[in-house]
Structures are given as C-alpha cells and as structure tokens.
Amino acid sequence: MTKALRVPDYLDHILRALERINRYTANMDEAAFLNSELVQDAVIRNIEIIGEASNNILRVAPAFAAQHHDVPWQVMYTMRNRVSHGYDKVDLEIVWKTTQRDLPELHAQVTGVRATFKVN
C-alpha cells in the first residue's frame, strides 16, 4: 500500500472515532459526562485514536497535511499525547468542552478533506 493510499484510511479512522465520541456523548450534559467513567474512558480512547491517525498523516504525507493546514493535525496529536502520557492529570472538563466545541467542526473539516478522495 502506498503512502497516498494510507491517508484516506487514516481520515476514516479519525471520522469513525469522532462519530463514536458523538454517539457516546449524545443526549448527555457535562454533569452526566463527569459522572460516567465509562464514557470518559471511551471518549479519551477515541481522542487517542484521532491523535495517532493525525500523526500518521503528518508523518507519511506532510505535503498533504500542509495542503490542508486548516485541519489542526498537530493539535490533535498534542491532545492525544496529553491524555495518553498525562493520564493521571486529564482535565475532564476540558475533554467535555472539546467534545462539544471543537469536535463538530473537526468532523466537518475531515469529512470535507476525505471527500477529495475517490471512494473505494
């Protein structure tokens, strides 16, 4: 598989993780999120997937990432590192705000970028 063919797969990984987070937090307010360790863990795991896939795009297709500079590739990877390596210091309020404020826009951005590839 060529590097170029991997990019759509990584984008699909990001989209699936975003959709899972949306499903897990649907009909939930911040208080419910903060009281559900199960949902917290599921959301954080999918943030890790988003960040890892973003880093893979940065690594195997830096020109592609630069061409789509409006997508916060590095920010996604940085958040992944924070929740993964700083697991004992994760601010769940920030995680919640990210799911509500940033992830819907990110989903739209990645969906738009993914649409530039032919569907296999």
Note if 20 is an active site residue: no
89 in a structural domain: yes
Element (DSSP H or E) covering residue 101: none
Q: pTM of the prediction?
A: 0.92
Q: What was the pLDDT predicted at 117?
A: 87
Can you give the pLDDT at residue 86? Answer: 86
Please report whether residue 53 resides in a domain.
Answer: yes
- Establish if 103 belongs to a structural domain: yes
Distance between CA atoms of 115 and 26, rounded to whole angstroms?
25
| Number of structural domains in the chain | 1
Is residue 26 included in any domain, yes or no? yes
Residue of 6, 23, 80, 114 marked active site: 80
The string of pLDDT tens digits covering residues 46-100 is 999 999 999 999 999 999 999 999 999 999 999 999 999 988 899 999 999 999 9
User: Does residue 42 lie within any of the structural domains?
Assistant: yes
Give helix 37-60 / helix 3-25 axis angle, nearest 10°.
160
Number of H helices and E strands in the chain, helices first, is 7, 0
- Residue 68 a catalytic site member: no
Three-state SS for 38?
helix
Domain that holds residue 8: 3-114
Tell me the pLDDT tens digit for each residue of 15-33.
Answer: 999 999 999 999 999 999 9
